[in-house]
């Protein structure tokens, strides 16, 4: 290890052990708690109308419904109908509708549908300080609006025309861009979100209208019908608090997947964080298995895969591998390769291929 130094040696130290694996699969228990919380929120008049939170709550119950839960809902509806108070009347009305929804959900696969707020990144400059914030997307209140905006060629062209493409203006002044050429470029401008292929040119990647149309249809179908992931197994690494991997993990659980999630900072508080995530998003048939794992360790990569596939372990067959684990290299460029760089490339490239 003199070649790499102590930081590299510490960074590749294995931490995986199946003895520390934690499994969360009691979706039925959290569903009952959700029903009781919703009932008492209505009775205490904390909930008086249907809003985004209420819709998310109902969708979550549909994804978790069991015959025992429907029996519980019938009992609550019967109790609510014994009084004419405003709270009891609201509980009866909402409860009756929820029973019908859950009876439909009982015979369907769990479905992931995005019900959160659509946000866009924004960078605010205040003197010498830069602040990153996320703000609501203008003119896009639903997922349908978002997909329509990012997949519509005309919308992108309109946005370019409105802002005034400064590069085109310069080229026109130099006589290098005629109006005819400009109009042709505008017509051929691909959507903001699109796919490229080497179908037309084996050397370079170019916009593929055919594949992009299929991708757009899939996005629109997800908006209309949601995404069902029942009976699917996934491995997600790098899904700590506030990460992209964590949001993907929530969607997998809401869709009914069985997921192995890894963490390099295994502790009681970390386990509690993932338990809370399953409590909120776990659907019928979903499982969440949490294990300690160091993606920079070759031994951990081998041990993790053995644990997932072996009969002595989970005996799963993975459908998805989503490696989000990363080691930062802030302030490094190509001339400053050091031990941290060696470790980062091992974790994010070499061992990803091993996985």
**Residue among 322, 332, 343, 333 nearest 243 (CA):** 322
**Is it the case that residue 49 has pLDDT exceeding 80?**
no
The residue with greater pLDDT, 172 or 29, is 29
**Residue among 24, 112, 26 nearest 66 (CA):** 26
The mean pLDDT value of the chain amounts to 85
Q: Which two tokens stand for residue 288?
A: 């969440």
- Please report the pLDDT score of residue 278 as a whole number: 97
- Please report the pLDDT score of residue 161 as a whole number: 40
CA 319 to chain CA mean position, Å: 16
- Please report the pLDDT score of residue 352 as a whole number: 94
Q: At what angle do helices 52-64 and 27-43 cross, to 10 degrees?
A: 140
Contact in structure between 20 and 266 (CB atoms under 8 Å): yes
354-to-233, 291, 302, 321, 328 alpha-carbon distances in Å = 19, 18, 8, 12, 20
CB burial of 191-209 (b: ≥16 within 10 Å; e: otherwise) equals: bebbbeeeeeeeeeeeebe
Contact in structure between 339 and 4 (CB atoms under 8 Å): yes
**Residue among 311, 269, 310, 304 nearest 289 (CA):** 304
Q: Which two tokens stand for residue 292?
A: 């300690």
Kindly indicate the confidence band of residue 26, based on its pLDDT and cuts at 50, 70 and 90: very high
**Cα gap 39→96, rounded to integer Å:** 12
Tell me the average pLDDT across 19-30: 96
- What pTM was computed for the model? 0.83
CB burial of 38-68 (b: ≥16 within 10 Å; e: otherwise) equals: bbebbeeeebeeeeeebeebbbbbbbbbeee
**Is it the case that residue 211 has pLDDT exceeding 70?**
yes
Contact in structure between 60 and 34 (CB atoms under 8 Å): yes
Tell me the average pLDDT across 251-261: 97
pLDDT tens-digit series, residues 139-182: 888 889 999 888 886 544 444 443 444 445 544 555 555 555 54
Pairing of strands 287-292, 258-263: parallel
pLDDT tens-digit series, residues 69-87: 999 999 988 988 888 888 8
**Residue among 278, 285, 267, 248 nearest 63 (CA):** 285
Strongest mean pLDDT among 142-156, 213-227, 293-307 = 293-307
Tell me the average pLDDT across 22-29: 96
The residue with greater pLDDT, 46 or 31, is 31
**Cα gap 5→309, rounded to integer Å:** 34
Identify the weakest region by mean pLDDT among 20-24, 91-95, 154-158, 248-252: 154-158
Q: Which two tokens stand for residue 23?
A: 């499994």
Pairing of strands 129-136, 119-126: antiparallel
The residue with greater pLDDT, 2 or 311, is 311
Residue 233: its H or E element:
strand 233-237
**Is it the case that residue 206 has pLDDT exceeding 80?**
yes
The residue with greater pLDDT, 20 or 5, is 20
Kindly indicate the confidence band of residue 90, based on its pLDDT and cuts at 50, 70 and 90: confident
Pairing of strands 22-24, 129-136: unpaired
pLDDT tens-digit series, residues 261-299: 999 999 999 999 999 999 999 999 999 999 999 999 999
**Cα gap 323→352, rounded to integer Å:** 7
**Is it the case that residue 253 has pLDDT exceeding 80?**
yes
Instruction: Return the beta strands (E) in 39-182 as ranges.
Output: 119-126, 129-136
CB burial of 223-247 (b: ≥16 within 10 Å; e: otherwise) equals: beebbbbbebbbbbbbbbeeeebbe
The residue with greater pLDDT, 182 or 106, is 106
């Amino acid at each position: 290890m003199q070649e790499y130094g102590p930081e590299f040696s510490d960074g590749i130290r294995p931490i995986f052990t199946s003895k520390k694996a934690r499994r969360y699969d009691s979706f039925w228990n959290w569903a009952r708690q959700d029903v009781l919380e919703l009932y008492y929120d209505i009775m205490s008049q904390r909930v008086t109308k249907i809003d985004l939170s209420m819709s998310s709550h109902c969708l979550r119950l549909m994804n978790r419904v069991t015959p025992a839960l429907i029996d519980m809902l019938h009992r609550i509806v019967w109790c609510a109908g014994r009084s004419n108070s405003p709270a009891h009347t609201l509980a009866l009305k909402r409860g009756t509708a929820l029973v019908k929804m859950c009876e439909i959900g009982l015979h369907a696969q769990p479905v992931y549908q995005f019900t959160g707020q659509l946000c866009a990144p924004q960078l605010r400059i205040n003197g010498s300080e830069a602040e990153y914030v996320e703000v609501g997307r203008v003119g896009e209140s639903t997922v349908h609006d978002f997909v329509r905006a990012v997949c519509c060629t005309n919308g992108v062209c309109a946005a370019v025309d409105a802002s005034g493409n400064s590069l085109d203006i310069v080229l026109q002044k130099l006589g290098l861009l005629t109006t005819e050429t400009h109009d042709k470029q505008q017509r051929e401008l691909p959507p903001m979100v699109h796919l490229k292929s080497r179908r037309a040119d084996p050397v370079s990647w170019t916009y593929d209208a055919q594949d992009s149309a299929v991708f757009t249809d899939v996005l629109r179908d997800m908006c209309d019908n949601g995404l069902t992931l029942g009976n699917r197994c996934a491995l997600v690494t790098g899904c700590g608090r506030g990460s992209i991997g964590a949001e993907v993990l929530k969607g997998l659980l809401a869709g009914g997947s069985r997921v192995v999630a890894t963490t390099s900072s295994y502790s009681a508080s970390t386990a509690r964080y993932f338990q809370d995530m399953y409590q909120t998003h776990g659907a019928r048939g979903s499982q969440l298995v949490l294990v300690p794992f160091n993606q920079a360790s070759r031994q951990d990569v081998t041990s993790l895969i053995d644990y997932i596939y072996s009969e002595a372990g989970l005996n799963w067959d993975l459908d998805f591998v989503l490696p989000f684990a990363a080691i930062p290299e802030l302030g490094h460029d190509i001339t400053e390769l050091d031990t941290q760089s060696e470790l980062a490339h091992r974790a994010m490239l070499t061992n990803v291929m091993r996985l």
